[in-house]
Structures are given as C-alpha cells and as structure tokens.
C-alpha cells in the first residue's frame, strides 16, 4: 500500500491514528436476550457462532505497553458475549491498567454475574479511570422479559457494590412497551443509588431488515423453540426510534429504499471516532456490525430481524466475502501484530468502497446520513 497524501491520512484507518479498541473477549453470556444475535429469539444458542474466550495472553501480547500508552479507551462490549463471563476478565483489566494508569476502561454488561467482592475489585482496578454501563431494562417485574435469566436484585446488588467502591456507573434501559411506564421510576432509583447517569435507549431493533419496515412485535422463544411471549416497541413517541418513525418518509423520497442505500453519503462512526473492534476470534474489524455479518443467523437462515437483499451478493454475505478477499487469518492477532494488520490493504480498500465501485451495504445501512437508527438510540 502506497503512502497517502497528508490531507488524506486522517480519513484512513491507521495504526498510529486509532486510539480506541472495542474488544469482544468472549462469546459466552449468562443472559439470553431475544434480540441478541448470540441466540435464536431468546432460545437456542446461535449454531453459527463458536463458544470461545479470547485468550488473556494473546490480548496481553497484542496490546503492547507502547500501544497502550497512547490509547484513550478500551471498550469491553461484545457482539455476542458479556465480558464479565470471561474467566480472566479482572486480570485482563489489570493487564491494561498496569500498562497505562490512566487508560479509560469502559465496560458494557448486564451485571448479573459474580459476587459483590468481584465488583468492588473492578472499581479498584479502574481507580477513577473507567466506567461500567449496566443494562437494566426495567425493574424487578420486567427486567427478565428482555434480559432473560438475569436477576434484577442481583444486578442492583452488584451495581451498588461497584458504586460504593468508587466506581462510575451508568444505568442503560432499553425502552419497550412492557417497561415504558417504569422509565421515571428507574431513573429515580438510579439517582438514589449513585449512578452518575441514566440513559433510556430508543431501540432500533424493531426494524425488519428484509421487509424494510417496522416490526410490530418480536417473538420470544424458549429452548424448545416454542413462542412464550412477544416484545413490542414503546407506544409513546418519546421513547420510539426516530429513524424508524421517519422510515415512510424516506421510502417516499427515494421510491426504492435500495436507491437510498446506494447513494447516501457514508459517515463512518469508527473512522471518524478513531476506533476499531476486535472479535472473540481475535480478528480486527472496523466495527461490531462487521462481526454480526460473520456469525449472525439472520444472514444464514433468515432469523429476525432478517437480512436485506443488499447484505448478500450472489447468495453470499457481502461483508464476509469482502473480508475473505484479504483473509480473515491476515486480520487475526494470533498471527500478526496489530501494527502489521493495519498495513493490510483491506483498510484503505474499505474506505474506497464507499465512493468507488461496489460499496459495502452494511456501511450504508449503519452509517448512512439519513437512516441512523443505531445512533438515534441514545439521542
């Protein structure tokens, strides 16, 4: 790959420019959330996903002291798993903290595992330079409807232990029809407990990608594949996803929504945020949406929220096909250093694809200018 002009260097993925890594260190989880790609509608585990932990020593070797010394943040948030289920998670946090005393250690979790001593220790490791987002989607009588197998009282106990030990915590609540009446009460509880922030998320997951329309209800299955109940989007427009609300207008503007995806400007959140993702296999990717394309069942058998026709080319997943041109093994920290992985032409070719040749549909879907359902969730 040739050298780029100085004015273009900030618009490329470069080793010395990236200052945040999102790490999926495991595909294991204690929950079975119905809209998570690690399972089939809250029931059976996704058969296309390997159950693995990314080895602590591999992470430690890949993230050298030199690299960690200049990083702004490491974000532990899985596409498929919860970081606290990794058996060596606290030790992994310690490895990063040892290399950089002020590196921001950011964790997203359901918080429903381990005892209070574990959470006290996590706060001590962070030592004022980190944050935990607890996924508390309701109160005692509703949390389990989405965070299946997670006990509300257990999470509250763990979160309180973390906060009491000096930890910085945020309460994140995905709003559904079944819990929208609890938002104000949940926010009050969060303030009383000492959470620094409460965030009500306006979910975009009721968008059916295949039908390009809003899904009225989402079936929830048990391990036998039987439907137990349904999730529904909130009724109040205050908690609804604005891109999903505007979808009919966008369809009218473009007649064919595919035309929008083919022509919209792409503002890559990862590129402009100077961040990339790494999955539990150790593969370095631009974002976790690429990781979804690798293993999400909807791209294999049509599981909700379905696959858009733009996701596939000649019957194969477009993202997987694009990655395989460069070799997943060549983007794997088991085989190459992070610096060497960034020398792979994959990164520059990805950026080029947004304006020349065949663009990556997932990029237009996620980071297009008008349909921003992912980013609308936190507005």
Give residue-wise pLDDT tens across range 51-104: 999 999 999 999 999 999 999 999 999 899 999 999 999 999 999 999 999 999
143 φψ region: left (φ > 0), alpha (ψ -120 to 50), beta (else): alpha
Residue 91, domain CATH: 3.20.20
Residue 41 in contact with residue 303, Cβ under 8 Å? yes
Could you tell me the pLDDT band of residue 5, with boundaries at 50, 70 and 90? Answer: very low
Domain that holds residue 31: 11-109+202-376
Convert the pLDDT of each residue in 240-269 to its tens digit: 999 999 999 999 999 899 999 999 999 999
State how far the Cα of 121 lies from the Cα of 126, in Å rounded to an integer: 9
**Cα angle 350-4-2, degrees, rounded to a multiple of 5:** 80
Say if residues 339 and 346 touch (Cβ distance below 8 Å).
no
180 Cβ contact list (under 8 Å, min separation 6):
234, 235, 236, 239
Neighbours of 255 (CB within 10 A): 9
Percentage, residues of the chain above pLDDT 90: 96
User: pTM of the full predicted structure?
Assistant: 0.95
In a domain, 281, yes or no: yes
Distance CA 16, CA 13 (A): 9
- Average pLDDT of the residues in 107-117: 98
Q: Which two tokens stand for residue 145?
A: 């409807």
Q: Tokens for 60? A: 């430690």
Mean pLDDT of all residues in the chain? 96
Split at pLDDT 50, 70, 90, the class of 10 is low
The residues near 86 (Cβ < 8 Å, ≥ 6 apart) are 25, 26, 28, 53, 54, 92
CA separation for the pair 162, 376 (Å, rounded): 29
Q: Are 331 and 13 in contact (CB under 8 A)?
A: no
Q: Is there a domain that residue 250 lies in?
A: yes
Measured CA to CA, the distance from residue 105 to residue 93 in angstroms comes to 7
Is pLDDT above 90 for 150?
yes
Residue 140 located in a structural domain: no
* The two structure tokens encoding residue 258: 């595919």
Q: Are 196 and 170 contacting, i.e. CB atoms less than 8 angstroms apart?
A: yes
The per-residue pLDDT for range 159-215, each reduced to its tens digit, is 999 999 999 999 999 999 999 999 999 999 999 999 999 999 999 999 999 999 999
Give the mean model confidence (pLDDT) for residues 217-226: 97
- Give the end-to-end CA distance of the chain in Å, rounded to a whole number: 39
Query: Strands 284-285 and 207-208, how do they pair?
Result: unpaired
**Domain annotation covers residue 132:** no
Question: Per the structure, how many domains does the chain have?
Answer: 1
Residue 30: inside a domain: yes
């Amino acid at each position: 790959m040739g050298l780029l002009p100085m004015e273009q260097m900030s618009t490329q993925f470069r080793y010395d420019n990236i200052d945040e890594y999102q790490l999926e260190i495991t595909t294991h989880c204690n929950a079975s959330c119905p809209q998570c790609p690690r399972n089939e509608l809250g029931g059976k585990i996704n058969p296309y996903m390997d159950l693995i932990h990314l080895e602590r020593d591999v992470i430690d070797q890949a993230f050298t002291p030199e690299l960690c010394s200049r990083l702004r943040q490491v974000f532990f948030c899985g596409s498929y798993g919860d970081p606290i289920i990794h058996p060596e998670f606290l030790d992994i946090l310690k490895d990063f903290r040892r290399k950089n005393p002020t590196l921001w250690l950011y964790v997203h979790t359901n918080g429903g595992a381990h005892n209070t001593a574990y959470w006290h220790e996590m706060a001590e490791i962070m030592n004022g330079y980190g944050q935990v987002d607890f996924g508390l989607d309701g109160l005692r009588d509703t949390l389990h409807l989405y965070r299946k197998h997670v006990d509300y009282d257990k999470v509250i106990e763990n979160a309180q232990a973390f906060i009491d030990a000096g930890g910085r915590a945020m309460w994140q609540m995905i709003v559904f029809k079944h819990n929208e009446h609890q938002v104000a009460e949940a926010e009050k509880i969060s303030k009383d407990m000492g959470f620094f922030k409460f965030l009500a998320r306006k979910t975009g997951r009721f968008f059916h990608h295949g039908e390009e329309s809003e899904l009225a209800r989402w079936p929830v299955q048990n391990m036998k594949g039987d439907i137990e109940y349904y999730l529904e989007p909130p009724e109040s427009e205050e908690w609804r996803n604005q891109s999903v609300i505007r979808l009919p207008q966008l369809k009218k503007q473009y007649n064919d929504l595919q035309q929008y995806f083919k022509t919209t400007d792409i503002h890559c959140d990862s590129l402009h945020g100077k961040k990339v993702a790494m999955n539990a296999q150790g593969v370095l990717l631009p974002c976790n949406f690429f990781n979804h394309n690798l293993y999400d069942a909807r791209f294999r058998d049509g599981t909700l929220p379905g696959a858009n026709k733009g996701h596939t080319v000649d019957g194969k997943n477009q993202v997987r096909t694009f990655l395989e041109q460069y070799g997943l093994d060549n983007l794997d920290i088991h085989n190459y250093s992070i610096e060497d992985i960034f020398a792979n032409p994959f990164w520059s070719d990805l950026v080029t694809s947004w304006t020349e040749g065949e663009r990556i549909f997932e990029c237009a879907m996620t980071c297009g200018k008008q349909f921003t359902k992912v980013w609308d969730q936190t507005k």
